Structure formats: C-alpha cells, structure tokens
Amino acid sequence: MLTLENNCIVIFGASGDLTQRMLIPALYKLYSHQKLSSSFAILGVSRSTYDDQSFRDKLIKDLASDDNVDHESLDKFCEHLFYQVMDPENKYEYKALKQRIQSIETALKIKSNTLFYLATPPSLYSVIPQNLAAHGLNIEDDGWKRLVIEKPFGYDLESAIALDKSLYQDFTEDQIYRIDHYLGKETVQNMLVLRFANSIFEPLWNSKYIDYIEVTGAEDLGIGSRGGYYDNAGAMRDMIQNHLLQVIAMVAMEPPAVINADSMRDEVVKVLQCLKPLNEDDLKHNLVLGQYTKSHVRDECLLSYREEKGVPEDSRTETYIALKMFIKNWRWDGVPFYVRTAKRMPTRVTEVVINFKKTPHPVFSANPPDNKLIMRIQPDEGTLLSFGLKKPGAGFETEPVAMDFHYSNLKNSELLSAYERLLLDVLKGDATLFSRSDAVSACWEFVQPILDYKKNKFDLYGYAAGTWGPIEAEALFKNGQTWRSPCKNLTDTDYCEL
Ligand code: NDP
Ligand code: BG6
C-alpha cells in the first residue's frame, strides 16, 4: 500500500458549508482510520474572522455531538487544524499565506507537499491559482503542489475552456484535480467491476441485447437555502452536466487496458465524445423540463420552487429534467438512454436500470418476463437482477423473481464516503477518479444545445412537489418502454404550463 507523504492541505472557502459538512468530516474519518500521513496540517483560509481555536471549535461541533466519536482522537485531530484570515481575491495577502504555510511546515516537519482545495464560489477558480502562482506556490521543486477544483467547472462550454486556459498558464494538467463526487461513490466505481470483472454481463452489454437504459437521480429535498446558486444553474448544470453524464460514461465506456488515470480517462472521454448531439427535433421531442409547485405531502406544506429563498417569483429554472439521448458508436447505436433528475420527488433514489430485450420467440407466454439489471447507487446500495422463473404448478406460466444484493450485507468491509475516497486519492496523486479537461469539455459540448435552447421560450411543466414529475416525460418512451418507478405518483394535471 502506498504510504502518503507528509503534506499540508490548504482549504480556500474554509468558513463555508462544503468544508464544514463534507471536507472536515471526511478528513477526520481518514485520520481516525490512520489513513493520513504521519505528519500533516489542514490550513483553512477565508475572510471570516476566526483564530485557530475558534475555527477548530466551529468545525468539530457536529462531529463532537456524534455519540460514536472517539473524543481523544478528535482532540488530536484538532491539533492539525489551523486558520488564516485572508481575502483570496487580494493578491497582496498571499505573501502572508506563504509564510504561514512555511511556518506550519517547519513546526510539523512537513515537506513542501501542498494541496490547495478550492471550496469557494466558482468565480475564484481562476483568481486563486493565479495568485498562488504569483507567489511561487505552484512550483514543485521542493514538493508537489496540487489543486482541487470543485464543481461547477465552468458555466458553459466557453467558460470551461476559458477556465482551463487560465489554469494552464501556471499549473500542469497533472497538478489539477477536477472533483466530481459521484466518481468517488463506491457504487459508481462498482459498475466497472460488475461489467469488466464478470464474464456473465459483458457479452450482453450492447445494442444486440439491451433494449434501453434508464438513469434516475431523484431527490426528495428541495433546493433548501441554495436558491441563489441553483436558480443560475438548474438541474442541467447541477446534476446532468457532471454527475449523471459521468455515471453514463461508467455504464457505456469500453474496458480500459489497465486501471490507471490515463487508461481510464481515455476510455471515459472516448464515450463522452460519442454522445449524439441534440438537434432541434430532440430538443422539441426528447427533452422535458419541469419545476416543482406547492403541495401538501404527509401533512407538510412544501413550498413551490418560486417561493424558495433566493428564487425570483417568475423563475423559469428547471428543477426537473427528463431526456432521451443516444450514444453514436458501435456498441450503443440505437439504444435509448433515458435520463431524469429532479428535486422534490417522492423519494431519494439514484439508480441505473439496464433493460434487456425480450426473448425473440415467446415460448411460454405472449408477454415474456422483464429482464432488468438495477444498479442502485444510493440509498440501499446494491444490485438487483430480475428475471422470470416457472410458476410452480401445472403449465408453464412464468413468474418474475429477483436476485438482490445489498452492500449492507457485506461483512468486514469498510465503505469510504465519496469525499474520503477522493481526498485520499488526491493526496496519493492518483487522478483516476477525477475528470480530465477533455471529458469536462465533452460534457459541456453535449449540454450546450440545451442551455442555448433555454435562452428562448420553452415549455416548462409544473409538477406538484412530492410527485414523480410531469406526465409528459412518459411520452419520451415508445413500444411499451417506461420508467421503472419505485412508486408511481405522477402529477395528475394534464398539462401545466408555467
Ligand atoms: P459557501 O457559500 O457555504 O462557502 C463559500 C466560501 O467561500 C466561504 O467560506 C466564503 O468565506 C469563501 N469566500 C471567499 N471569497 C469569497 C467571495 N469573494 N465571495 C463569497 N465567498 C467567498 O459555499 P459551499 O461551501 O457550499 O460551496 C463551495 C464550493 O463548493 C462552490 O463552488 C460549490 O458549488 C461547491 N460545492 C458545494 C457542495 C456543497 O454540498 N456545499 C457540493 C458540491 C460542490 P468568507 O465569506 O469567510 O470569505
Ligand atoms: C451536488 C448538487 O453536486 O450533488 C446538489 O449541487 C445535489 O444539488 C447533490 O443535491 C447530490 O449529491 P448526492 O451525493 O446527495 O447524490
């Protein structure tokens, strides 16, 4: 196993939500499982006023209230946390930052291996690297220097290309880690193992045997306090451009020759570059956009999207997308991929459903059983295979049955959270599960026609919060295909134009 070199993790945006809810808990968990290096420091940087102690107190408040936490190890972890007040936009403040990093490194005997984690608003993703470079904090003579860039990487194709151009002025591609936390999910990585480590699935994994594929990313929550961000993003930028297209790449890519960053990412980009561009007809007939409206669910009154904090009352931002898309290559030609994602659905479920074709000649009944492979990304992570067996008794009737594997049944195995896995990888210098520049551009290229389409008048369907979305999304299907719905609860309005 690769031992980590001593390092200093500098988190920009240290007073923010991501640092508090994701990064620090993940780093603590790695620390408590002795997965971090023997000496390390975490230096939080933002404009809010804290000192080391008040920063530590703020960050560990949630962790300390967990009954299962070991307080002694949490106290020891805190000794590695430091804070520096600074405005990352102000280039003159980087001299003090450099001195602080050096003094921490000297005190803790850390070599100059530095990870800069950008958990700030995206407007700073090019500013911070430029300012770091102006102070030599990109130079690797005395140790590695890595940048983690949070999503969103760009706002559209043009801005993503511009961001890359700006980063490349001072950093090389192998110093840049574009994070997409879906790639850190155990169940997303498992798709590769399921496909390429088992000879029973791969021979069927193509247009000859697969009828259609569904990808669902449903969330029961609304947009919470993120109205300001979400209204400029919408479901397209928030979920499809990054997370769900990465999931599709895992489902559809060719096997890499070996598992390493280059080989894996070469295959990912190849398949993303084969996404069939959406033409006018697709945008009209293969895309359904929706927005949640007010409703009552289990005695709770759920606000409409337009009533959420930070959302304009005439907003036409989509909180629901359903899309029928294709991959133009030898393996997938003609197989529709139905993708949907939304806020305020009846439940939280992320899954991929591989719908196999029916047998060519129905020997036992006019309607052969469904053959589906369901890869449950979350929650209740696992895999389910459904097929037909003979119904006991006279005759040859078929009965649908399932083989169902749940990760929770695995004994003695430790599931790392997505951020734990990805932070560990970046500290090791393993970029396999990070998006490469060409893959990010391929994703933007695919979604750009939808972003352009939304600039003009378009149909936006209302769906009551807590339902499976506008019924119009059913019309994407033909020949008896349909969404696998964990529960059917479509909005019963015929058409609700907003
Ligand atoms: P927050 O708004 O909670 O935090 C932003 C942080 O940036 C604060 O610490 C803020 O601190 C700092 N900051 C520094 N300069 C500025 C500036 N000029 N304007 C505003 N803030 C500044 O955001 P999140 O933590 O939620 O998100 C951070 C990034 O991570 C975003 O790009 C987001 O898209 C991404 N992300 C977040 C996820 C989440 O679950 N929260 C999930 C996936 C990605 P201060 O004001 O003290 O300087
Ligand atoms: C984030 C989006 O990137 O992913 C959120 O900004 C979304 O809107 C979240 O809720 C979903 O992640 P997960 O891991 O909860 O499926």
Distance 16 CA to ligand 2 centre (A): 16
pLDDT digits (tens, 9 = 90+) for 304-328: 999 999 999 999 999 999 999 999 9
Catalytic residue numbers?
243
Average pLDDT, the chain: 92
Q: Are strands 320-325 and 114-118 parallel, antiparallel or unpaired?
A: unpaired
Q: Which numbered atom of ligand 1 lies nearest the CA of 14?
A: 9
Task: Tell me which H or E stretch contains 9.
Answer: strand 7-12
- Candidate from 45-54, 184-193, 412-421 with smallest mean pLDDT: 412-421
Q: Which residues contact 323 (CB under 8 A, 6 or more apart)?
A: 240, 286, 287, 288, 338, 339, 340, 450, 476
| Ligand closest in space to the Cα of 83 | 1
Cα gap 154→198, rounded to integer Å: 37
Cα gap 76→6, rounded to integer Å: 17
pLDDT score recorded for residue 415: 77
What would the mean pLDDT of 273-284 be, rounded to a whole number? 96
Asked whether 180 lines ligand 2 (CB < 6 A), one says: no
Domains and CATH numbers, the chain: 7-150 (3.40.50.720), 183-417+435-476 (3.30.360.10)
* Direct distance between the N- and C-terminal alpha carbons of the chain, in angstroms, rounded to an integer: 56
pLDDT score recorded for residue 487: 52
Q: What are phi and psi of 40, to 5 degrees?
A: -160, 160
Q: Residues lining ligand 1, judged by CB closer than 6 Å?
A: 13-18, 22, 46-48, 88-89, 119-122, 124, 150-152
Asked whether 219 lines ligand 2 (CB < 6 A), one says: yes
The closest of 280, 359, 287, 377 to 323, measured between CA atoms, is 287
Annotated binding site for substrate: 181, 185, 219, 238, 343
pLDDT digits (tens, 9 = 90+) for 100-154: 999 999 999 998 999 999 999 999 999 999 999 999 999 999 999 999 999 999 9
Asked whether 238 lines ligand 2 (CB < 6 A), one says: yes
Residue 237 C-alpha from the chain's centroid: 11
| Ligand closest in space to the Cα of 16 | 1
| Ligand closest in space to the Cα of 50 | 1
Helix (DSSP H) and strand (DSSP E) numbers for the chain: 14, 17
What would the mean pLDDT of 273-287 be, rounded to a whole number? 96
Is pLDDT of 489 > 50?
A: no
More confident residue, 424 or 365: 424
Distance 414 CA to ligand 1 centre (A): 30
Share of the chain above pLDDT 90, in %: 80
Whose CA is closest to atom 6 on ligand 2? 238
Residue 439 C-alpha from the chain's centroid: 14
Whose CA is closest to atom 29 on ligand 1? 119
Cα gap 307→293, rounded to integer Å: 9
Q: Which numbered atom of ligand 2 lies nearest the CA of 377?
A: 16
Annotated binding site for NADP(+): 47, 151
Q: Of the residues 18, 149, 181, which should be mutated to test ligand 2's pocket, given the most ligand atoms within 8 Å of the CB? A: 181
Whose CA is closest to atom 8 on ligand 2? 238
Distance 84 CA to ligand 1 centre (A): 16
Cα gap 151→474, rounded to integer Å: 31
Q: Of the residues 46, 91, 239, which should be mutated to test ligand 1's pocket, given the most ligand atoms within 8 Å of the CB? A: 46
Ranges of beta strands (E only) in 231-381 are 287-293, 295-297, 300-302, 320-325, 337-342, 349-356, 372-378
Task: Tell me which H or E stretch contains 40.
Answer: strand 40-46
| Whether the predicted model's global pTM rises above the 0.75 cut | yes
Radius of gyration of the chain (CA): 24
Annotated binding site: 47, 151, 181, 185, 219, 238, 343
- Candidate from 15-24, 408-417, 454-463, 468-477 with smallest mean pLDDT: 408-417
What would the mean pLDDT of 240-267 be, rounded to a whole number? 96
Q: Which numbered atom of ligand 2 lies nearest the CA of 229?
A: 6
Q: What are phi and psi of 179, to 5 degrees?
A: -90, 135
The closest of 241, 179, 248 to 26, measured between CA atoms, is 179
Asked whether 350 lines ligand 2 (CB < 6 A), one says: yes
Is pLDDT of 256 > 50?
A: yes
Cα gap 71→63, rounded to integer Å: 9
Contact in structure between 160 and 440 (CB atoms under 8 Å): yes
Distance 121 CA to ligand 1 centre (A): 5
- Note if the bond before 152 is cis, omega within 30 degrees: yes
pLDDT digits (tens, 9 = 90+) for 425-448: 999 999 999 999 999 999 999 999
What would the mean pLDDT of 249-266 be, rounded to a whole number? 95
Evaluated on CA atoms 318, 324, 326, 331, the torsion sign reads positive
